[in-house]
Amino acid sequence: MRMNYRLTISYDGTRYHGWESKKEVDTIEGKLEAVFARMTEQDVKIHGAGRTDAGVHAMGMVANGFLDTTLTPEEIKAYANHYLPDDICIREVSGVSERFHARLNAKGKVYQYTCYIGDEKPVFERLYTWVLPEWVTNGTPDRMPDIEAMQKAAEYLIGTHDFKSFCGNNKMKKSTVRTIYDITIAEEEGYLRMTFHGNGFLQNMVRILTGTLLEVGYGRMHAEDMETVLASRDRQMAGPTAPPHGLMLLEVEYGV
């Protein structure tokens, strides 16, 4: 029986060219569609809650797709995980209404960016962490940014703003207005984790926000500059784009 299914997916994005299906390169969406096409012996289109960039990871990506099968949700999950590569896992499968769409019905997303600020190489976390370069502070090499200054800068970014300055697509024709509900910045045993909670994010937005906040942390920008950066609607006014491998999509939120 043909039915709409909601999928919750985790994946390591290291060897993929992002989420969205592309010809001749491996993508997360492409791998999922291939497995479900094999299962149903039909072409299958999967819709993700967003399009993560090449190299970005996810713990809780949500997607949906119509599958014509007599298998139960648990059997669909078992089948897919058997044939999917080891770096992609479907965590949950459930039948949903025909009207459910993973992207259009999403109410919010939570991303986390992880940086390493410790003294030793993070050998086992290197694919998921940006090892910040050492800066010479008072004659001593140091990776530690000023977290208090970064938190102050983050306060200017919370709320509803036009985030065009933080968008990696300079040809963006749709609205660049988004709402950020919260930004938390915390140090934990050599790691600096920045968590961004908003109603949606533009292309590269979290990575540009991360790079900009770090510019403040290292004293190359000031917290108060965020007002000017937002008002300019100019990508060149914001900081650099942080590399993709430190970014993780933690959760996609939906209404009750």
Catalytic positions: 53
Q: What is the C-alpha separation between 92 and 83, in angstroms, rounded? A: 16
**β 2-11/57-68 pair status:** antiparallel
**β 46-48/191-198 pair status:** unpaired
Q: What is the C-alpha separation between 83 and 76, in angstroms, rounded? A: 11
**β 57-68/46-48 pair status:** antiparallel
Task: Yes or no: say if 101 and 64 are a contact pair by the CB < 8 Å rule.
Answer: yes
**φ and ψ of 162, to 5 deg:** -85, 115
